[in-house]
Amino acid sequence: MIQLTATPVSALVDEPVHIQATGLTPFQMVSFQASLEDESGNMFYSQAHYRANEFGEVDLKHAASLGGDYMGVHPMGLFWSLKPEKLLTRLLKKDVMNKPFQVQLKLYDLELIVNNKAASAPKASLTLERWYVAPGVTRIQVREGRLRGALFLPPGEGRFPGVIDLFGGLGGLLEFRASLLASRGFASLALAYFNYEDLPAKPEITDLEYFEEAANFLLRHPKVFGPGVGVVSVCQGVQIGLSMAVNLKQVTATVLINGTNFPFGIPQVYRGKIYQPFPYSAQLISTSALGLLELYRIYETTEVGASQYLFPVEEAQGHFLFIVGEGDKVINSKTHAEQAIGQLRRHGKNNWTLLSYPGAGHLIEPPYSPLCCASMTRDLKLHWGGEVIPHAAAQEHSWKEIQRFLRKHLIPDMTSPL
């Protein structure tokens, strides 16, 4: 009897799943297919083809895919190789608390698929639950003063290291990374800063005092460790995270994923200081062979006069973790990270770590998330970049390193004298 098993059937999205098929004929060729429907009804699909061993078994932990959406030994390949049925669609979890993503796994005889008989019933199937929040994590809507966001607290009495989570140009409130961080033991504030509730849709300035209020709000919470908080930021959020690290003594650990070392778009303002945005070169926007916009060349930071726009990163007292996808087609993030590190070095600072991933694109997300190499954003067809397999490896490695970095710099040394 053919059986398809997956362990665990219900798990957090950053946890691996062990998938096996048994009861096949020796050396039978089979196709594993995965599908997922997002909260808007968009479908995502993946498939991989395998040969059973002499015992009629396929164990994805050890067996190599021979074809389909990836090749080689990749136990979680069916998850990170999911592709949208509708092109330029990004998989984003919105309701993290109440419903998981459901992934349908089906096992087919490969010969039936090759002969266009896939309409026949699968040999076996099952449904997996992929959660963005662990049992016991609580979500608190934040509307304190002008702050808008959602605070996620791990189960238990605490206290916990505090983290502010910042996304980029999409605006609104994205919660899936903060909910996962809380599931891993961090008190995480998913912070909106434009285009959400009563926040301006198109702000004319970035007021850093708003983010200072967020840091103080987190530090006042009885379940949060002091004296410092961490920041996890990506894309447009990086320019804010970097500025927070420079200007706010409360920020002691900053994760910077594929961003710039200068403000862009609009000025940043903090207590009388104004950081002017770096001027962009529109003539350097390029278009890929598929008609996708590539923006990574528009900031020429090596030109004369460019240094006046760069953040004085050497003034930061905390630590930096720069995470770079070398295949980023939106921001020349490796160059910007190396430039910031060069400034730190020239001032005798070694408070930084750089993780640079060949083949990874712009949207480095938690492990096993599908690569989104392009999507519609603000009516633009943006090329985010990345190759499926190296991008997946970057997500898995960087997620562990982010947590290690935050714990190292945010959890007080309990052995030190009080």
CATH number for the domain that contains residue 65: 2.60.40.2240
Tell me: do 188 and 293 sit in the same domain: yes
**Over residues 149-177, mean pLDDT:** 96
pLDDT above 70 (res 218): yes
Q: What's at 70, amino acid-wise?
A: Y
Provide the b/e sequence for 25-49 (b: ≥16 CB within 10 Å). Answer: eeebbbbbbbbbebeeeeebbbbbb
418 is a domain residue: no
Share of the chain above pLDDT 70, in %: 97
CATH of the domain at 254: 3.40.50.1820
Instruction: Output the pLDDT for position 3.
Output: 98
Reply yes or no on whether the pLDDT at 226 is more than 60: yes
Picking from 131, 149, 167, the residue at the C-terminal end of a domain is: 131
User: Looking at the structure, do residues 11 and 121 belong to the same domain, yes or no?
Assistant: yes
Q: Is 266 exposed, middle or buried (0-12, 13-18, 19+ CB in 10 A)?
A: middle
- pLDDT at res. 415: 40
In the predicted structure, residue 418 carries a pLDDT above the cut 50: no
Residue 415 lies in a domain: no
pLDDT score at 117: 53
Question: Are 127 and 142 within one domain?
Answer: no
Question: Distances from the Cα of 146 to the Cαs of 11, 162, 219, 221, 262, in angstroms?
Answer: 35, 20, 17, 17, 25
Within a domain: 67: yes
Q: What does the alpha-carbon distance between residue 100 and residue 130 come to, in Å, rounded to a whole number? A: 5
- Dist. CA 349–CA 7, nearest whole Å: 46
Lowest mean pLDDT among 54-58, 111-115, 202-206: 111-115
Query: What is the mean pLDDT of the segment spanning 252-263?
Result: 98
What is the per-residue pLDDT for 414? 46
| Residue 416 forms part of a structural domain | no
Check: CB of residue 132 under 8 Å from CB of residue 179: yes
**Are residues 155 and 249 part of one domain?**
yes
pLDDT at 114 over 70: no
> Locate tokens 């449904």: which residue?
127
- The answer on 337 and 377 residing in a single domain is yes
Long-range contacts made by residues 144-148, C-beta under 8 angstroms, separation at least 24?
144/217, 145/213, 146/210, 146/213, 147/191, 147/210, 147/213, 147/214, 147/217, 148/173, 148/191, 148/192, 148/196, 148/197, 148/198, 148/199
Q: Is residue 75 part of a domain?
A: yes
CA distances from 344 to 236, 278, 347, 406, 408 (A): 21, 20, 5, 20, 20
Instruction: Report, as an integer, the average pLDDT of 278-294.
Output: 95
Average pLDDT of the residues in 377-391: 95
Mean local confidence (pLDDT), 395-404: 98
Q: What is the pLDDT of residue 305?
A: 79
**What mean pLDDT is predicted for residues 266-294?**
96
Q: What is the pLDDT of residue 319?
A: 98
Asked if the structure places residue 275 within a domain, the reply is yes
Q: How confident is the model at residue 328 (pLDDT cuts 50, 70, 90)?
A: very high
243, 273 in Cβ contact below 8 A?
no
CA–CA gap between residue 241 and residue 234 (Å, rounded): 9
What the block records as the tokens of 332 is 């020349």
- The band of 119, judged by pLDDT with boundaries at 50, 70 and 90, is low
Structure tokens at 85: 């049925």
Whole-prediction pTM value? 0.96
Bigger pLDDT: 415 vs 398: 398
pLDDT of residue 306: 87
Q: Answer yes or no: is pLDDT of 260 > 60.
A: yes
Residues 71 and 175 in one domain: no
Q: Domain end: 131, 165, 187, which one?
A: 131
* CA neighbours closer than 13 Å in the CB half-sphere of residue 165: 24
Question: Are 124 and 182 within one domain?
Answer: no
Q: For the sheet containing 206-207, what is the strand order?
A: 206-207, 268-270, 273-275
174 and 323 co-located in one domain: yes
Domain count, the chain: 2
**86 and 164 together in one domain:** no
| 338 pLDDT tier (thresholds 50, 70, 90) | very high
Token pair of 153, please? 């607290």
Question: Are residue 117 and residue 201 in the same domain, yes or no?
Answer: no
Closest CA to 218 of 160, 136, 176: 160
Residues annotated as catalytic are 235, 328, 362
| Residue 269 and residue 160 share a domain | yes
In a domain, 417, yes or no: no
Q: Is 384 exposed, middle or buried (0-12, 13-18, 19+ CB in 10 A)?
A: buried
* Main-chain phi, psi angles of 241, to 5 degrees: -60, -40
158 shares a domain with 177: yes
Tell me the average pLDDT of the chain: 95
Residue 96, domain member (yes or no):
yes
Q: Which range of residues forms the domain containing residue 316?
A: 138-410
